[in-house]
Amino acid sequence: MATPKELYYEKRGQIMVKNLLSRHFEAYYCATKEEAVKKALELIPEGSSIGWGGTLTCTQLGLMDALHAGNYNCLDRDQCATPEEREKLQREIFFADYFITGANGLSLDGQMVNIDGTGNRVAPIVYGPQNVLVVAGMNKVTDSLEDAVRRARTVAAPMNKQRFPIQTPCEVTGTCADCKSEGCICNQMLITRHCRPAGRIKFILVGEDLGM
């Protein structure tokens, strides 16, 4: 029997799917991690070249492991031996068949907010790869765009910053200080409100708490 949270996520997920479709995204709701990985592999044809930025959600799903185990050309920056190789690979991702990412915040009306430090994650969402696949837990969904921006700035970024060693105010306090620190990871903020060409950006919403 479904729990109250599962029912809540499913009902909001169906609203999200409808609103994403109205903005010309492709959108799917999956109740579990396993269903989400299965749907992702259905959407990505074998033989495709695939890149990604940092996405804790997809790591938690085991999607990267499934892609490495399958018949895909994975452009995995974590397998680069030097910073120079990593930078080169991140530029090659612009020519990939698929780019995979998470979301820092989603509004119930179908808009996405992402924050980035160097731009290697938000730039391919905007232009480059033929397809973008966004995988996000329903914990990322907020009631409004303003709430989604607030979540990205005051929840996702300070939590994510705990993973990196360059000190910023939010790393110390856990609270956004609207800083201009050298190690700031909030240098670019992208709001994706509509998809052109239609269907280029595809969403898989997962009825679990994932990512940050």
Which tens digit of pLDDT belongs to each residue from 158-209? 888 887 776 888 888 888 888 888 888 889 999 999 999 999 999 999 999 9
pLDDT at 26: 98
> Can you give the pLDDT at residue 173?
84
Which pLDDT does position 161 carry in this prediction?
Answer: 80
> Using one digit for the tens of pLDDT, what is the confidence trace for 38-97?
999 999 999 999 999 889 999 999 999 999 999 999 999 989 999 999 999 999 999 999
Domain holding 199, by residue range, is 4-206
| Distance (Å) of CA 105 to CA 1, 68, 144, 210 | 29, 27, 10, 12
In a domain, 66, yes or no: yes
Please report the pLDDT score of residue 126 as a whole number. Answer: 97
Average pLDDT on 144-163 reads 92
Of 58, 1, 98, 42, which is closest to residue 206 (Cα–Cα)? Answer: 58
> In residues, how long is the chain?
212
Q: Check residue 53 and give its pLDDT.
A: 86
Domain count, the chain: 1
**In 10 A of CB 41, how many CB atoms?**
15
**In-domain check, residue 181:** yes
Q: What is the pLDDT of residue 164?
A: 73
- Give pLDDT, residue 54: 83
In a domain, 188, yes or no: yes
CATH number, domain at 73?
3.40.50.10420
Among the listed residues 149, 206, 194, 153, the one whose alpha carbon sits nearest the alpha carbon of residue 176: 153
Asked whether residue 179 is assigned to any structural domain, the reply reads yes
Tokens of 50: 């695939």
User: In the structure encoding, which two tokens stand for residue 176, read together?
Assistant: 């956004």
Contact 36, 186 (CB under 8 A): no
87-139: per-residue pLDDT in tens? Answer: 999 999 999 999 999 999 999 999 999 999 899 999 999 999 999 999 999 99
Residue at 211 is within a domain: no
Cβ count within 10 A of residue 67? 23
